[in-house]
Structure 1
Amino acid sequence: MTKQANGGPLVLILEDEALIALNLQDDLQDAGYGVAGPFTTCAAALEWLRTQTPDIAILDVALKDGPCREIALELERRKVPFLIYSGHHEDRELLADLQHVPWIEKPAPPAVLVHACRQLAVGHT
């Protein structure tokens, strides 16, 4: 696991709603995590992934430049645990082959997401 300057794991955030992304970033940083992003497009996240690897990730399914499928598959290839954070139940259809990935419906209290990240990090160590 990659330890950041703050001592916590690095979480990639892929979320195109600015308010949600910034709140999520603040909540994770307050809980001791390092944050990569938040990225608002799949293209920006893929560019970052060319040279970096997070410890865990939180992905919205539907971004302005399309579904997060390519990011999800790249994270799986690297064995990086991630969860889906989406407000659209029907988005599950976009990632039908990733049904094993934890799914949290928006909106969710910050404590739920922080707890889910802790579980992903523990399962990854």
Structure 2
Amino acid sequence: MSAMRPARGSVFLVEDEVMIRMMVADMLEELGFAVAAEAGDIDEAIRLAETAYFDFAILDVNVNGKIISPVAEVIEMRKRPFIFATGYGLSGLPEQFRNRPSLQKPFQLDTLGRTIDAALRSTPA
């Protein structure tokens, strides 16, 4: 069978904890998405946010002690939807992005799926 575009699209995943990143990647694949790019630090994430092809992104809010805002700004300029993943609640989100969808860590597969669906529905075409 030849490689095909995933049924539901591709994801850019930013998470500094390798085990969490692997777990989320597995969850995304189970939901029918392909991970197009992954980053574990802010500099790599900015570079990939500027150059990689992806349909939407999931961004850890705190990456090795650095806030994710510069990466979110690049993705916003590219007009791609994104979801924050945080263990800090709404108050941990960058202020200018508090209207964006977020996932409270740890999250389950069904919560991830619902949040993605809502984020993709609310994004202007």
| TM-score greater than 0.5 by the shorter chain | yes
1:42-74 CA-to-partner distances (Å, cap 9, x unmatched) read 211222233223211111111016111001111
- In structure 2, what is the equivalent of residue 37 of structure 1? 37
Tell me the equivalent position of 1:88.
88
TM-score by length of 1: 0.84
- Structure 1 equivalent of residue 98 of structure 2: 99
Give the C-alpha shift of residue 122 in structure 1. Answer: 3.2
| Inter-partner Cα distance in structure 1 for 2:43 and 2:36 | 14
**Alignment partner, residue 63 of structure 1:** 63
Please list the CA deviations of residues 56-97 of structure 1 after superposition, one character each: whole Å capped at 9, or x if unmatched.
1111111016111001111111111111110113422xx111
The size of the alignment, in residue pairs, is 120
The CA distance in 2 between the partners of 1:7 and 1:110, in whole Å, is 17
Q: Per-residue displacement from partner, 1:10-39 (whole Å, max 9, x unpaired)? A: 111111111211111001011110113331
**Structural RMSD (CA):** 1.8
What does residue 9 of structure 1 align with?
9
1:110 positional shift: 1.6
2:17 partner letter: E
CA distance in 1, matches of 2:7, 2:109: 20
How far off is 1:119 after superposition?
Answer: 2.3
Tell me which amino acid in the other structure corresponds to 1:30.
Answer: E
TM-score w.r.t. structure 2 length?
Answer: 0.84
Q: Is 1:46–2:51 an aligned residue pair?
A: no
For structure 1, the 5+ residue unaligned runs are none
Specify every segment of 5 or more residues in structure 2 that has no aligned partner in the other structure, as ranges: none
Structure 2: distance between partners of 1:7 and 1:102: 22
